[in-house]
Structure 1
Amino acid sequence: MAGVRISRAAGALLGAAGMVVPLAVVTAAPAQAASCTTSTGPYQTRVERFLGRPVDGKQSAADCKATQKFQAQHGITPTIGYAGELTWRTMNTMLAQRAAGKTPNAAGKCPTNKGRIACVDLTRQLSWIQDGKKLTYGPVPVRTGRDGAETRTGLKKVYWRDIDHVSSLYNVSMPYSQFFDGGQAFHSVTKSMWNPPGSAGCVNMRVADAKAYWSLLRNGDDVFVYGRKPGT
């Protein structure tokens, strides 16, 4: 994402690499609560189980309200309590993140021969920092590129950092930006990490996690992005 405060050298690099513009970081005003649907969704049983509801595969008023609350919390629309594909996909991603525990690289997909490296698993929407085989931070949930604007995979390097970066296209703040592939960067946002459809390429992070990455990473550090985001 382009920024208004950028050095000539960094600007040239960004221009040469091509820009990917993340979504504007804007928190919308909460909408008036929608009416609950009485329809049973295709993922009803799994949604009920995730929410700790009685599992009978049939929509009830209480099921709907619990599902609707989850949808509203994470910006899933329409917010009508329907146990549809997007709602279940979001829940399933959360389950995969929980299962990662403190061994996110158990499968060895992120290189362990690079020293300090920031890993981004698009499939589980997780990121962490490791040094060799030692986990040094995370794993933490992230919000990556939406369908058609995916966060690009491969081995990268942090090449430019701007703690107070501002987008020149949307005039929005991108705090703790650390660019690693053209206009794609780690940076903080205030919305839910599970808010669909995703960014326009950047790796969105919660504020505390973006701050930690800022303190732990430096220019020249490796970043490895792999997997495929659900729904892309």
Structure 2
Amino acid sequence: MSIFTRVGLRAGVVAAVTGVVVPLTVVLAAPASAAGSACNAGTGPYQRQVEKALGLKVDGRQSAADCRTIRAFQAENGVRPAAGYAGPITYRALQRKAAGTDGTCPTDVGRIACVDLGRQVSWIQDGAKTVYGPVAIRSGRDGYETRTGLHKVYWRAQNHRSTIYDVEMPYSQFFDGGIAFHSITGAITAPPGSHGCVNMQPGDAKAYWGLLRTGDEVYVYGRKPGT
């Protein structure tokens, strides 16, 4: 057997051992990862408020059931991390979810999408009747504020990609220059905000896509905190 053959065999053995060790490491790490996904967040500063808003027993003490319910709400409403902790971001998201229309959006134009920048919510109404929402949104950051006023949906693209920022913008409905409703994959609550667009969770953006048409009105008002 030549030295090259011996070296080749040794390399093969090492590669084989390495190929075994890596999968075992992954397998052994799996239980730890699964344990890490258990809902074991502690009691948050807004525990009582969150319990009340979610219809849980209001005692101010985090239980495993509380944690699972809070985590499900967080996951559904774009709050990250969705760990079940009743913190200020979760409480604000609940407040937005419960927010009703405030009578500011026009009721005499038929189908209209309303965007309240102050509360970071949006909904669709027909006359005075709300047909979808309110839902949490993320508007423009400081320096890229979503422009207020009455607009119209003028262009729609279900699978749009931004040529400026090179990002996917599913369910895009443009209503003011380069400003559109569209879905994002990240957290709606993540700072600092968009570059002017009205970011939505995928389910809400898809619903808006089904409810709005080119020519429908969009009314944006208020001011986003911090801008």
Question: What band does the TM-score fall into relative to the shorter chain?
Answer: 0.5 to 0.7
Counterpart among 28, 40, 49 of residue 36 in structure 1 = 40
What is the Cα-based RMSD across aligned positions, in Å?
Answer: 3.4
Quickly say closer, same or farther: Cα 1:65–1:112, change in 2 above 3 A. Answer: closer
**Mapping 1:145-164, distance limit 5 Å:** 145=139, 147-148=141-142, 149-164=144-159
**Mapping 1:199-210, distance limit 5 Å:** 200=194, 201-203=196-198, 204=200, 205-210=204-209
Quickly say closer, same or farther: Cα 1:229–1:33, change in 2 above 3 A. Answer: farther
1:111 aligns with 2:106: yes
Q: CA deviation at 1:150?
A: 4.2
Instruction: Report if the CA contact (8 A) 2:67-2:84 is conserved.
Output: yes
Q: Could you tell me which residue of structure 2 aligns to residue 14 of structure 1? A: none
In our comparison, the structure showing a higher alpha carbon Rg is: 2
Counterpart among 119, 124, 127 of residue 123 in structure 2 = 127
Q: Could you tell me which residue of structure 2 aligns to residue 185 of structure 1? A: 180
TM-score (normalizing by structure 1): 0.62
Aligned residues: 185
**Mapping 1:47-126, distance limit 5 Å:** 47-96=50-99, 100=100, 104=101, 107-112=102-107, 114=109, 117-122=112-117, 123=119, 125-126=121-122
Quickly say closer, same or farther: Cα 1:163–1:84, change in 2 above 3 A. Answer: closer
> Could you report, residue by residue, the CA deviation over 1:183-205 in whole angstroms, capped at 9, with x for unpaired residues?
21123x3759x732276132234
Equivalent AA in structure 1 for residue 175 of structure 2: F
Q: Could you tell me which residue of structure 2 aligns to residue 165 of structure 1? A: 160
Equivalent AA in structure 2 for residue 206 of structure 1: A
Aligned residue for 2:51, secondary structure, equals helix
> Could you report, residue by residue, the CA deviation over 1:53-75 in whole angstroms, capped at 9, with x for unpaired residues?
22111233332333233333434
> Could you report, residue by residue, the CA deviation over 1:95-135 in whole angstroms, capped at 9, with x for unpaired residues?
22xxx3xxx4xx431234556543223326122143xx454
Tell me the distance in 1 between the aligned counterparts of 2:153 and 2:111.
Answer: 12
Any unmatched runs of 5+ in structure 1?
Answer: 1-30
Q: CA deviation at 1:153?
A: 1.9
Q: CA deviation at 1:164?
A: 4.1
Equivalent AA in structure 2 for residue 127 of structure 1: W
Identity rate of aligned residues, in percent? 47
TM-score (normalizing by structure 2): 0.63
Q: Could you tell me which residue of structure 1 aligns to residue 18 of structure 2? A: none
Any unmatched runs of 5+ in structure 2?
Answer: 1-33
Richer in helix (by share)? 2
Quickly say closer, same or farther: Cα 1:144–1:71, change in 2 above 3 A. Answer: closer
Higher relative contact order (CA 8 A, sep 6+): 1
Counterpart among 212, 219, 224 of residue 224 in structure 1 = 219
